[in-house]
A and B are shown apart, each in its own frame.
Chain A
Amino acid sequence: MAGLERQRQLLDFALSSLARRPMKNLASLTVYTAVVFLLSSVMLMSHAIRREAAALLAGAPELVVQRLVAGRHDLIPTDRLATIRAVRGVAAAGGRLWGYLFDPAVAANYTFLVPPDRSIAAGTAIIGSSVAAVRGVGPGDVMSFRGYDGRPVAFTVTSTIAAESALVAADLFLVSEGDFRRLFGIPADRFTDIVVTIRNPREVRTVAEKIDAALPDARIILRDEMRRTYESVFDWREGMVLVLLVGAILAFAIFSWEKASGLSADERREIGILKAVGWETADVIGVKMLEGLVMSLTAFLAGYGLAFLHVFHFGARLFEPVLKGWSVLYPEFPLAPSVDEIQMASLFFFTVFPYTLATIVPIWRAAVVDPDMVMR
């Protein structure tokens, strides 16, 4: 019990010491919390998006075959379907029709798509939630676009896609095949690309090679690669995150430097007094460590808690300008709270420990001064 009480008395003393410089320590705590907040926000958000991407894209096409002409993605002729279907291991192949349309009225890009799973009546459209929001339209409204030949093509909105699916469908504009071809001037013997289903999923690479051999001008994208694209979104190496990270690390460095060089004559004198009245070097260092621990633990809990609220309850509002970029359409998607334990542990480790250590190092130097300096 004496040991516990002793620690508690030292903690009392450490807290009183912190309270003696309230402005300085509050400022440090605020900056520190902000650093943890930014880092945890990025971590939580990237982890949640990756998780959702993995779940949502699990059913993506196994193989997509594009045609490249002079390095550009080009429309693929329908006769390629037969070539692909003839490849051993291919279960089915179907053409996709999709593309982009720039809507000058609101300066937004829409993704036009002919849905393979339903037939849409000519002259009607099903629209994504962001399209509905940005144009302020709903079922029954008519939207008109200028076709490839200058003639207007009009769509009556029949329904909107639920907002809960915004992360994949916010900018979609589902139309009939006839309307799609008429709007963009795509001849009947062309598709945007071809989606292939494989008989045995383990043979996907072999089948891809065979298709590649049969269609030299094709570019093949595997489902695995689509998934991988999003596995590393917001990776720490990415520019913005890197900038953020460098900022945070710099803040930390400034902190540590301030701590390392900030041992004033007053503080040295204090350490001398404590030692003169019977404190051991270990007690002095223990108190300073407690100070550092209190600061960093508080900053971690506050920063992390705020980040959790920010990402999962306030839709990561602070990141919106960055995520939105130049785009007009920005899906408002809810993210299911989820945490990567290892990520969190490393965040904890890299925020709490360096600071605590940084507080100890200079104290160590000071703590070995002779206690008789207070008598001189």
Chain B
Amino acid sequence: MSTLRVRPSTVLFAILAVGGVAFGTTCVEACLGPGRAAVRLARTARLAERLQLTDLCLFTEARYTRHASQADRHAAFQDHPAALEHFPSGSLMPPSGAANRASP
């Protein structure tokens, strides 16, 4: 019987419910995430501290991208942010905080 046909809004509500549950899951994961990763982060942070590391190992292609915070004022990035840098990573990173400072 045609009166048993599913209303479009029912379908939408079902889809939105699934989406809502998925969204809720991401929120729960985001809340739990830092806690779950705490041990790993703490171990890595301790390693970084003991080795006196100053930078993230995100881009290894050049001195000033591997250790961006240690890069001097004559390294790349000077045209930031107007110009694209030689390396793709150059356009993902700002010049180091120190490079922009007038004096210590």
Interface set of A (CB-CB < 8 Å, partner B): 8, 11-12, 15-16, 19, 49, 51-53, 55-61, 64, 66, 68, 71-73, 96, 100, 108-109, 111, 113, 115-117, 128, 130, 161-162, 164-172, 174, 193, 195, 205, 208-209, 211-212, 219-222, 224-230, 232-235, 237-242, 294, 297-298, 301-302, 304-305, 308, 312, 322-323, 325-331, 334, 336-339
Question: Which residues of chain B are near A234, meaning CB under 8 Å?
Answer: 92
Q: Which of B52, B55, B93 is in CB contact (< 8 Å) with A238?
A: B93
Q: Which residue of A lies closest to B46 (CB)?
A: A59
A209 to B94, CA, bound (A): 25
Contact, CB under 8 Å: A224 / B51: no
State whether B8 touches A238 (Cβ < 8 A): no
A226/B73 in contact, CB under 8 A: no
Shortest distance between the CB of A197 and any CB in chain B (Å): 10
Rounded to whole angstroms, the CA-CA distance of A208 and B102 in the bound complex is 13
Q: How far is the CB of B19 from chain A (nearest CB, A)?
A: 4
Contact B70 A331, beta carbon cutoff 8 Å: no
Q: Is B15 an interface residue (CB 8 A)?
A: yes
B49 touching A60, Cβ below 8 Å: yes
Q: A11–B46 Cα gap in the complex (Å)?
A: 56
- Find out whether the CB atom of A233 lies under 8 angstroms from the CB atom of B93: yes
Residues of chain B within 8 A of A294, CB atoms compared: 12
> Does B14 sit at the interface, judged by CB under 8 A?
no
Question: Which residues of the other chain, A, contact B72 by a CB distance below 8 angstroms?
Answer: 66, 68, 71-73, 219
Tell me which residues across on chain A come within 8 A of B26, comparing CB atoms. Answer: 304-305, 308, 337, 339
On chain B, the residues within 8 Å of A302 by CB distance are 19
Q: List 4 additional contacts besides A242-B91, A336-B34; criterion CB under 8 Å.
A: A56-B48, A61-B54, A229-B55, A336-B33
User: Which B residues touch A208, using CB under 8 A?
Assistant: 104
Q: Is B97 touching A224 in the complex (CB atoms < 8 A)? A: yes
Determine the chain B residues whose CB is within 8 A of the CB of A328 once the complex forms.
60
Which of A8, A58, A72, A336 interacts with B74 by CB under 8 Å? A72
Q: A229-B68, A298-B15 are in contact. Are A164 and B57 (CB under 8 A)?
A: no
| A-side contacts of B89, CB under 8 Å | 323, 325, 327
Cα(A339)–Cα(B57), bound, Å: 22
B23 near A109 (CB under 8 angstroms)? no
**Do A240 and B48 touch (CB < 8 A)?**
no
Complex interface bits, B73-88 against A, C-beta within 8 A gives 1, otherwise 0:
1100000010111011
In angstroms, Cα B98 to Cα A224, docked, is: 9
Does the CB pair A59–B43 fall under 8 Å? no
What is the size, in residues, of chain B's interface with A at 8 Å between Cβ atoms? 70
CB-nearest residue of chain B relative to A228?
B97
**Min C-beta distance of B78 to chain A, whole Å:** 12
Q: How far is the CA of A230 from the CA of B56 in the complex (A)?
A: 8
Complex contact A66–B88 (CB within 8 A): no
Whole-angstrom distance between the Cβ of B26 and the nearest chain A Cβ:
5
Question: Please, could you name 13 A-B residue pairs with CB atoms under 8 Å apart, sorted by A?
Answer: A57-B48, A109-B60, A117-B51, A128-B57, A165-B48, A168-B56, A172-B57, A212-B103, A225-B69, A229-B69, A229-B94, A239-B91, A241-B91
**Which residue of the partner chain A has the closest CB to B83?**
A239
Known: A161-B47, A220-B104. A171 touches B57 (CB 8 A): yes
A239-B81, A338-B30 known; A229-B61 Cβ under 8 A: no
Quick one: which of B46, B59, B83 has the most chain A CB within 10 A?
A: B59
Encode contact with A along B1-38: 1 for CB under 8 Å, 0 otherwise.
00000011101100110011011001101101110110
Q: B66 contacts which chain A residues (CB < 8 A)?
A: 100, 109, 111, 171
The residue in chain B whose Cβ has the minimal distance to the Cβ of A96 is: B52
Which residues of A are found within 8 Å of B30, using beta-carbon distances? Answer: 337-339
B94 vs chain A, min Cβ distance (A): 5
Shortest distance in angstroms between B60's beta carbon and chain A's nearest beta carbon?
Answer: 4
**Given A12-B9, A60-B48: A323 in contact with B15 (beta carbons within 8 A):** no
Cα(A297)–Cα(B90), bound, Å:
35
Q: In the complex the two chains form, is A238's CB within 8 Å of B54's CB?
A: no
Chain A residues near B8: list those with CB within 8 A: 11-12, 15-16, 19
- CB-contact partner of B23 in A49, A301, A330, under 8 A: A301
Question: Which residues of B sit under 8 angstroms from A327, Cβ to Cβ?
Answer: 59-61, 65, 89
Closest to B18 in A: A301
